[in-house]
Structure 1
Amino acid sequence: RPKSIERLNQTSSVSEFILLGLSSRPEDQKPLFILYPTIYLVTITGNLLIILAIHSDPQLQNPMYFFLSFLSFTDICYTTTVVPRMLVNFLSVKTISYAGCLTQMYFIYALGNTDSCLLAVMAFDRYVAICDPFHYVTTMSHHCCALLVATSCSLPHLHSLLHTILLNQLTFCDANVINHFLCDISPLMKLSCSSTFLNEIVIMIEGSVVLVTPFLVIIFSYIRILIVVLKIPSAAGKCKAFSTCGSHITVVALFYGSIFYVYLQPVSTYTVRDHVATIVYTVLSSMLNPFIYSLRNKDLKQGLKKLVGRRKPQTAPS
């Protein structure tokens, strides 16, 4: 009989999964356990400082920083979904319940796609600011900004809910070892002993649309920005226009480069080599975003200096 039929006839069912983690070598566990809490603390601190600086400085009260504050908040939640579970795995507690695994997968997809949508919204904001500056205030009104953020948060949750429900319909027999450090849809589908045809079709159609559409918005926005900027006669004007986009382009390249590497490939080819790319978009990009934005943005850098009290206190006359 075919192997798939034999697995379906087995009476056992999976109530928990085993996450193999980043490395199975015991000598790697302690260095990784030290490294990732450090990354986590830097990520939380950096993004929290960005949020506090934006909300405390009147000069940063505009749509660009409004979207950036939500991106930082999403990055905090995103990293919290991944890193604490990794730390538990380093302590040799490699099992995760079936419900816990699906819950982690749900939030990874919901928050990851929220990041993607917010990056598209920020690109649209730069497009309006550079290509249609006279209508910027009316186009990017408080109502419009709130609507864009609400859409960027709600649609990814619907997308994630769809894939979580479809995955929950699959049957898992004996195989419960996930060769990964988190619960991702591709390695989970490889463990299923029932047909994953519908899941793969939905991933290829709906999943690709959700992943690629924000990226296309970003590409379209920057093509229009490039056309407008190249028409600016002065070199100083061109540099000023490009400087407002440099940080965002860097973040987009880091985030989408790693995501496309992992997900724009067949499920059957998903291997341990994708771990590094997954770490980039789930952990490292969230840590690096505050540095990328603050180092290249004078207003935000000044806001951070005010927040942490780096200005010299005035001394009373003797």
Structure 2
Amino acid sequence: MENATAVTLLTLSGLDFTLEHKIILFLLTLLWYLIIVLGNVTIIVVIIQDKNLHEPMYIYLCNLCINALYGTIGFYPKFLLDLLSSHIISYAGCMLQGFVIHSSVCSDFSILTLMAYDRYVAICQPLVYHSFMTKQRVTIFVFLSWLLPLYCMFMNTATLLGSRLCGSHIKRIYCVNWMVVTLTCSPPKANTGVAYFNILFYFGHFLLILWSYVYLIRTCLVYTENWGKFTQTCLPHLISLITYSITVLFDVLYMRFGSQNVSQHLNNFMAMEFLLIPPAVNPFVYGFKLTKIQFNCKFILTIIH
């Protein structure tokens, strides 16, 4: 049992490729990461440089893109390095990676919740929208959408610090707190308690999104002239929300109920879907659907050419 306290290095054993396949995967992953960075940075720059886009909806969108960069930087650089070297990560590094990825996922949901509520106020209560969504209130909402996820995931991670490990192999391509818990000699009860609190907290987010869309659809059925605004601004949000929900659900199902009968490659894909699809898809969904974003993107491309 003394050896359990000496475990300071962990092995990410999810990668099982030949050298040739690793090189191909490295190039494809690097290309995909560059697409993610380029797409999100473009949306961020467009919103920051155009004062006409300094409205709540676009401010939330800007933060969604910033969060995508934050979350992916916790995965892609390390994954690319692992493809070219050993799959070793320090215990502290593992905790940090898990914290960054999980807090990004939670912040995504918080920002998507804000965007849903913003659309509810804009379409269902248009007369009070500007008096309610003031700069001060939007700043507070954005601040909380970052602070609360960071705090929730910090508490979740803190409960694992100092835990004695009885294993060093994580069957994933990146660190996940739940997988670290399975390596501890005695899983901390506090971690379970914090996890249940976080689930309840974000279930409240889900209820707020559901409530917002129930009223949005009901309002659009009564006042049909609102359908245009709904499809223009809510459809991209719905696509982002559905994409996010499906990819995160796949990861949760695999993490909790993963089967040994499924190939490791399929497991890896299920585990990283939320790091692959939403960060790349969101900028293009909003870029194509929102007229103001689309116009500014075309303007930037014209300047470049």
Check whether TM > 0.5. Answer: yes
CA distance in 1 between counterparts of 2:297 and 2:255 reads 44
Do structure 1's residue 292 and structure 2's residue 281 form an aligned pair? no
CA distance in 1 between counterparts of 2:57 and 2:115 reads 7
TM-score (norm 1): 0.87
Q: Of 89, 96, 101, which residue of structure 2 is paired with 1:108?
A: 101
- The alignment of Structure 1 onto Structure 2 pairs a total of residues equal to 300
What is residue 183 of structure 1 aligned with on the other side?
Answer: 175
CA distance in 2 between counterparts of 1:233 and 1:88 reads 53
Correspondence 1:45-84 to 2 at 5 A = 45-84=38-77
Do structure 1's residue 231 and structure 2's residue 196 form an aligned pair? no
The CA deviation at 1:44 is: 0.8
The CA deviation at 1:202 is: 2.9
Larger displacement relative to structure 2 (256-265 or 85-94): 256-265
Do structure 1's residue 42 and structure 2's residue 31 form an aligned pair? no
What is residue 120 of structure 1 aligned with on the other side?
Answer: 113
TM-score (norm 2): 0.91
CA distance in 2 between counterparts of 1:11 and 1:76 reads 36
Residues 1:201 and 1:24: Cα distance change in structure 2 (over 3 Å): farther
Check the 8 A contact 1:255/1:280 in 2, yes or no.
no
The CA deviation at 1:22 is: 4.1
Letter in 2 for 1:211: Y
Do structure 1's residue 262 and structure 2's residue 267 form an aligned pair? no
CA distance in 1 between counterparts of 2:84 and 2:254 reads 32
Check the 8 A contact 1:51/1:73 in 2, yes or no.
yes
CA distance in 1 between counterparts of 2:2 and 2:269 reads 37
Q: Of 305, 308, 315, which residue of structure 1 is paired with 2:301?
A: 308
Letter in 2 for 1:186: W
Relative to its length, the structure with more helix (as a share) is: 2
The CA deviation at 1:98 is: 0.9
Letter in 2 for 1:17: L
Check the 8 A contact 2:14/2:268 in 1, yes or no.
no
CA distance in 2 between counterparts of 1:311 and 1:15 reads 49
SS of equivalent residue, structure 2 residue 11: strand
Overall identity of the aligned pairs, in %: 26
The CA deviation at 1:217 is: 1.7
CA distance in 2 between counterparts of 1:280 and 1:222 reads 26
Q: CA RMSD in A?
A: 2.1
CA distance in 1 between counterparts of 2:212 and 2:300 reads 33
CA distance in 2 between counterparts of 1:285 and 1:22 reads 23
CA distance in 1 between counterparts of 2:62 and 2:203 reads 23
Check the 8 A contact 1:21/1:86 in 2, yes or no.
no
Residues 1:48 and 1:311: Cα distance change in structure 2 (over 3 Å): closer
What is residue 315 of structure 1 aligned with on the other side?
Answer: none
Q: Of 276, 281, 292, which residue of structure 2 is paired with 1:283?
A: 276
What is residue 244 of structure 1 aligned with on the other side?
Answer: 233
SS of equivalent residue, structure 1 residue 252: helix
SS of equivalent residue, structure 2 residue 16: coil
Residues 183-237 of structure 1: CA deviation (Å, up to 9, x unaligned):
101221222222344423432x212123322222211111110110111245xx4
CA distance in 1 between counterparts of 2:118 and 2:129 reads 9
Letter in 2 for 1:57: D
SS of equivalent residue, structure 2 residue 61: helix
SS of equivalent residue, structure 1 residue 168: coil
CA distance in 2 between counterparts of 1:60 and 1:10 reads 57
Residues 1:169 and 1:216: Cα distance change in structure 2 (over 3 Å): farther
What is residue 151 of structure 1 aligned with on the other side?
Answer: 144
Do structure 1's residue 216 and structure 2's residue 207 form an aligned pair? yes
Residues 1:12 and 1:141: Cα distance change in structure 2 (over 3 Å): closer
SS of equivalent residue, structure 1 residue 18: strand
